[in-house]
Amino acid sequence: SAVISQKPSRDICQRGTSLTIQCQVDSQVTMMFWYRQQPGQSLTLIATANQGSEATYESGFVIDKFPISRPNLTFSTLTVSNMSPEDSSIYLCSVEDGVERAAYEQYFGPGTRLTVT
């Protein structure tokens, strides 16, 4: 299975600022995803990070708020822009390591715990 690291592991930020989260994988993967995990809520997919093209965002998430980069097959960044306390959450990077898009072989990074004050 892929080994995934995320930086930073946690941060406390002031409202109105932006934070960029990095995700590094130890092998080349086709699919990389960004999720948000809020207390008492299920994991919510923010977007699929596409290598060499614009990310694909889920309903309710927009590029201006969550710009994503994916310069190669092992690295991606998620920026949380113009933060508000409602953005306080755990942000998770995940990768798919299977043959097809079935998510049973999806692996997650350790997460970035963000608190916005």
Task: Catalog residues that contact other proteins under the rule CB under 8 A.
Answer: 1, 4, 40-43, 45, 92, 94, 101-111, 113
Indicate the residue among 14 and 59 with the shorter CB distance to other proteins: 59
Closest separation in Å from C-beta 82 to other proteins: 26
Closest separation in Å from C-beta 104 to other proteins: 4
78: nearest Cα among 35, 16, 29: 35
Phi/psi of residue 93, nearest 5 degrees: -95, 140
Indicate the residue among 65 and 113 with the shorter CB distance to other proteins: 113
Contact 65, 45 (CB under 8 A): no
Indicate the residue among 14 and 60 with the shorter CB distance to other proteins: 60
**DSSP 8-state class, residue 56:** E
Contact 100, 106 (CB under 8 A): no
